[in-house]
Structure 1
Amino acid sequence: MTRRVTPLILILIMLLTITGCSGDKTAGKVIGFDIDGVPRNVDPLLAVSQSEIAVAANCFEGLLRLDEKDDLDNGTAESYTVSADKKSYTFHLKRNLHWNDDTPLTAHDYVFGIKRALAPETRSIYAKDLFSIVNAPAYHKGSVSSSALGIKASDDTTLTIQLSFADNEFLRNLTKLAAMPCNEAFFISCKGRYGLEKKYTLSNGPFYVKSWEAEGGKIRLNKNKKYTGETEVKPAAINLSFKNDPDKRVDRIIGDYLDCGFVSGDKIATIKDDSIEKSGTRKTMFYKDVYALYVNPAENDNGDIRKSMLMAVDRDALALNITGSFLPATGMIPTGAVYRGENYRTDAGEIQSVPYDPAKAKTLFSDTLTALKIKKMSFSTLYYPNNESIKRIASLIAQNWQKNLGAYINIEAVAEKELLSGVQTGKYKMALVPLKSETNSALSYLNRFASSSETNLFHINSKSYDKQIAKITGTLTDKEYLSELKKAETQLLSQNYILPVFFSPTAFVSGKKLSGIFYNSNDYIQFISAGKVK
């Protein structure tokens, strides 16, 4: 399969203009990076926010890593061999590996790290990335002990992993946060606070946590002098700030007071493109969030009320009013999602729920209310995040329901946190819900709606959907994998709980003096090659 360039990798093309080398005048600089969200835990297994992942992804290194071209490269592994049936992998680690505090890094650290990832008590959302390991699902459920796992270290530099099936994604999964090492003695010494403060962090990646000022809103990552990776660590340090005013972020980048930062959602509309172009500043947008209309108005509904309400929404009319940086949704999985390094939405095409049919919707709605003996609707409010652009969309949806169903629905703005809580608890029966993701994996978007998922906000419980999700494994060819993803997305939308409305972007904005920052297909920002001119 020919690998195409994904939207996130386009950042690489824009920024990786100067390669790291000895005597490079852009090397040895301190990079200033603004990011939203206070990092609370940088344990790679529990890092979930954008800021937490940014720290963990730059402070840890797996057996393998993804380079600036998104190709597999050696991480701490010097070499590895694969059995003929592709179910046994033996890794030989480089000699003289160390953690940033000079503690030796060994194969046993990977055994302990992977066992932690799969342990039910860890509750890591990344555990499924390692489910092809022998007995991994059973151990994750607590039905077997860790000794049954197909992973062992025969000595300090040799690690063998046995798979229950030939997993075509296994090597790339070893570059993800689930497969990072963990020093057992250090972990135990943290007494449950691993990854929560500077003194409870230990790094084997290009950087380590030099300082962590929670109140001051800053984390400083310094170059790890113990790092012996294939790529030279170019910057001296990364200063991550998470309490600066996001409304002033772009102006600070244009004025050379800041090197780079993320600008999310509605704030992107405030960026003036002419100012960006004149200053030489660069803006790259990628779409990972989807806003969906959720309806679940009656407990005794057999699905027909939901179906009729979604069928009564004119998506084409909505699309004409989705403006600014928002994009009309073409499925439940946004345009920034990838599968096996490829753009999912490009390959899958548009996948939608019930088609717009106002006449059929009205009949179904009226007949169902009569059958259920519902005379007065108690579900008379559509809630939405407090945002003027989203208010306009919510208003149009309510107008559709009034026109096509004769249903008079109020709209009410609430804070996003309250909205999500209200939907999860069942307080809000109808809502325009932001579904945000910290990963760009197409499968991860679908996994969140599995019956057993803790992130199943809508409490969708479908055995057939769970069964379809279970079919999406590393044994599939690329074509089969895409096909099963499409079937799962189609089946999810056929439950008639949700109607994808629009995709919301995040912009990565960088100053003209900056080069070398890139994203890989794991959706991890990488600073290892970052350079800056004076």
Structure 2
Amino acid sequence: MKFLSSRFTMKLIIKLSAIITALALLIVTAGCSDSYQDAVIYFEIPEKPFTFDPQTASSDSELAVTANIYEGLLRKNASGAIVCGMAANFSKQGLTYTFTLRDNAEWSDGTPVTAADFVFGLRRAVQPETKAPFASRLFAIENAEQIYNGKLSPESLGVSAPDEKTVIIKLCREDDKFEESLTTSVAMPCSEEFFGKCGGKYGLTLDTVISCGSYMLTRWKKDPFALRIKNNTHYNGTFKPKNSAVYITASEDKTAIERLTENGADIAFIDSSLTDTAVKNGLKTAEYCNICWFLTMNSELPAALRKSLAMLIGPEVYGKSLKSGYSAATSVFPPAVLKSPDGTGMTAYNLAAGKELFIKEVSKLEDKKFPADIRLYYYDNGVIKPVITDIVGHWQNNLGAFINIEAAQNVDNLTSELKNQTLTMAVFPIRAESDVLSEYLENFSAVSGSSVSEIQSNILKGSNIFPLLFQNTSIAYSSALSDVATALGNGYIDFSFIVKTES
């Protein structure tokens, strides 16, 4: 037997070493992959959800979950671009869209998602009895607005399913936001068969929720509250999660910041006044300036008198009380809706002119005195009160106008004041759920104008409505999370992209 040459032996050793190294790297890489793909994300929400019916979901908590357990014809990728979701492909000719569903689309119970599910979901979204909060996003579809107003039947909606894989949507007009609307909750599919079995409780319990998105709802206890979404084993799309599950909590004992800093949560909505605190504690943040606080005054006070009071409002008065994430409003429209604020019709701070006008208008009153029983109601979010007290204190000190203030715990009781002005004075926030101008304008009574400047001028000309502050919607998250993709509205967070690595 001949001995191997030392040269041959050396080559063999080098090859074996390379193979061993490659195997070791493969094992380590697989281990790392498993590490983050098995990770659980802990999400703290601001309030307990009521429903996961995608057509009626409205709060941040509800939208955050529905955005992750359902998938529409289209969805947004990690960079925010609109791409195919449930649709394998689509085309547009004139005002007609044609979508072809992917072959392997399934609900979380294993039944196929069909074109009929989208037809039923879209019809249901625009039916007036559904009371879908974002139904107007679909008004570009033929007959949608007439159906919503009770003038036509749902069957007349310009949506059809010629076969199980094809959805045809006919528009009545061009809408450059329509494709984006199809990525949002109101445009999600709904299985008519499953819906019928829910006995009027669709989306209200664990057993009456069926998923078709990257995640599926696997736990929902209401008392004590516990919510979990896990990888949807029947999801065969391109957006498979990079984590195994999201556990969702709504602590009543601790703030979101406390939960985050104590490692009880990985990601949470936080009050925008606490963003600086979050950063100081090593957290990352994402912010959207999509809230405008308004002061409304009704006709109990004459228009010129209302104007004089507004002339004594500005950052000169309340600037020192502004917290992080708040700023003086420069428009009716927050920057998330209108990137370049338009100051048309805004009332500027002018102490001298305001006092002069106030004295003049009070002298016209029957007893020549400012009314003594005026009350200002404000939504108490724990941050706004110092701003309110600065304003009424400034009125009292400079005008002799004494105004009582009273907190309201339910913001919904005040937001209708933009349209009705039933209260003498009120301060409350209006949130933009998207960057669609027409959707934001639904908060106001009939508005008109051919330009943004003209619309704003018409809103403000009656001296009943005064933009007061802008506020951010803020999200804070742990440094253990990466690839956190957030977008305005529709729940803000797509969890499927998030990678969690233990520090």
Shorter-chain-normalised TM-score: which range? 0.7 to 0.9
Question: Is 1:32–1:238's contact at 8 Å kept on the other side of the alignment?
Answer: yes
Show the counterpart of 1:39: 49
1:282 alignment counterpart: 284
2: CA distance, partners of 1:439 / 1:115: 22
Which of these residues, 64, 89, 98, is aligned with residue 90 of structure 1?
Answer: 98
2:303 maps to: 303
Q: Structure 1: which 5+ residue stretches go unaligned?
A: 1-19, 339-343, 452-462, 472-483
1:527 lines up with 2:495 in the alignment: yes
Greater Rg by CA: 2
TM-score (norm 1): 0.80
1:487 equivalent among 442, 451, 454: 454
State the AA in 2 paired with 1:275: N
Assess, with a 3 A threshold, how the Cα gap between structure 1 residues 31 and 321 changes in structure 2: closer, same or farther. Answer: closer
- Partners of 1:55 and 1:419 in 2: CA distance: 22
Looking at structure 1, the residues matched to 112 and 465 of structure 2 have their Cα atoms a distance apart, in angstroms, of 51
Structure 2 spans left out of the alignment, 5+ residues: 1-29
The structure-2 alpha-carbon separation of the partners of 1:431 and 1:218, relative to structure 1 and needing over 3 Å to count, comes to same
CA distance in 1, matches of 2:416, 2:75: 39
Aligned counterpart in structure 2 of residue 60 of structure 1, from 70, 76, 84: 70
Identical aligned pairs, as a percentage?
Answer: 30
Answering whether residue 210 of structure 2 is matched by residue 217 of structure 1, we say no
Q: 8 Å contact 1:312–1:405 — kept in the other structure? A: no
Contact preservation (8 Å) 2:105, 2:113 = yes
Q: Pick the aligned partner of 1:29 from 32, 36, 39.
A: 39
Is 1:446–1:489's contact at 8 Å kept on the other side of the alignment?
A: no
Aligned to 1:10: none
Please say if 1:322 is aligned against 2:316. no
Alignment match, 1:141: 149
2:396 corresponds to 1:402: yes
**Mapping of residues 214-363 of structure 1, within 5 Å:** 214-247=222-255, 249-268=256-275, 271=277, 273-276=279-282, 281-296=283-298, 298=300, 301=301, 303-335=303-335, 337-338=336-337, 344-345=338-339, 347-350=340-343, 353-363=346-356
Given that 2:158 and 2:169 are in contact with CA atoms closer than 8 Å, whether structure 1 keeps it comes out as yes
Question: SS state of the match for residue 426, structure 2?
Answer: strand
- Distance in 2 separating the partners of 1:272 and 1:87: 47
Q: In structure 1, what is the equivalent of residue 24 of structure 2?
A: none
Tell me the secondary structure at the aligned position of residue 444 of structure 1.
helix
Identify if the C-alpha distance between structure 1 residues 175 and 357 changes in structure 2 by more than 3 Å, giving closer, same or farther. same
Partner residue of 1:434? 429
Structure 2: distance between partners of 1:430 and 1:26: 52
What letter is aligned with 1:333? F
Alpha-carbon shift at residue 415 of structure 1 (Å):
4.0
Residues 408-433 of structure 1 show CA distances to partners (whole Å, capped at 9, x for unaligned) of: 223x3424328945985977422332
Deviation sequence 1:132-153 (CA, Å, 0-9, x none): 1111111111111123221111
Q: Name the CA shift for 1:73/1:222 in 2 (closer, same or farther; >3 Å).
A: same
Cα separation, 1, equivalents of 2:121 and 2:412: 36
Q: CA RMSD in A?
A: 2.9
Paired residues of 2:271 and 2:474 also in contact (CA < 8 A): yes
**Aligned partner of 2:60 among 47, 50, 65:** 50
Task: Tell me how far apart the structure 2 counterparts of residues 191 and 168 of structure 1 sit (CA, whole Å).
Answer: 37
Q: CA offset at residue 123 of structure 1? A: 1.1
CA distance in structure 2 between the aligned counterparts of 1:150 and 1:88, rounded to whole angstroms: 9
SS in 1 for 2:123: helix
Q: Take 1:186 and 1:419, find their aligned partners in 2: how far apart are those partners? A: 32
Structure 1 residue 80 displacement after superposition = 1.3
Q: Determine if the alignment matches structure 1 residue 445 to structure 2 residue 440.
A: yes
User: Aligned ranges for residues 117-196 of structure 1 at < 5 Å?
Assistant: 117-196=125-204
2: CA distance between counterparts of 1:405 and 1:288? Answer: 33
1:104 to 1:145, Cα distance in 2 relative to 1, 3 A? same
TM-score computed with the length of structure 2 as normaliser? 0.85
Using the alignment, how far apart are the partners of 2:416 and 2:152 within structure 1? 36
8 Å CA contact 2:116–2:164 kept in 1: the answer is yes
Q: Distance in 2 between matches of 1:251 and 1:312?
A: 38
Distance 1:447 1:388 in 2: 27
In structure 1, give the amino acid aligned to 2:407.
V
Q: Deviations over 1:33-83 (max 9, x none)?
A: 001111001111111111101111111111111111111111111111211
Do the aligned residues in 2 keep the contact of 1:173 with 1:179 (CA within 8 Å)?
A: yes
Quote how far apart the aligned CAs of 1:505 are: 2.9
- The structural deviation recorded for 1:369 is 4.6
Q: Separation in 1 of the partners of 2:355 and 2:73?
A: 58
Distance in 2, Cα, partners of 1:379 & 1:297: 15
Q: Which has the higher contact order (CA 8 A, sep 6+)?
A: 1
The alignment of Structure 1 onto Structure 2 pairs a total of residues equal to: 469
Query: 1:393 matched to which residue of 2?
Result: 387
Corresponding residue for 2:475? Answer: 508
Shift of 1:356: 2.9
How far, CA to CA, are the matches of 2:440 and 2:411 in structure 1? 22
- Change in CA separation of 1:241 and 1:374 when aligned onto 2, cut-off 3 Å: farther
CA-CA distance at 1:393 after TM superposition: 2.0
d(CA) in 2 for partners of 1:361 and 1:379? 21
The one-letter code of the counterpart of 1:355 is: A
CA contact (8 A) 2:104 2:236 kept: no
Given residue 356 of structure 1, which amino acid in structure 2 is its aligned partner?
Answer: Y
Paired position in structure 2 for 1:70: 80
Q: Which amino acid aligns with 2:390?
A: L
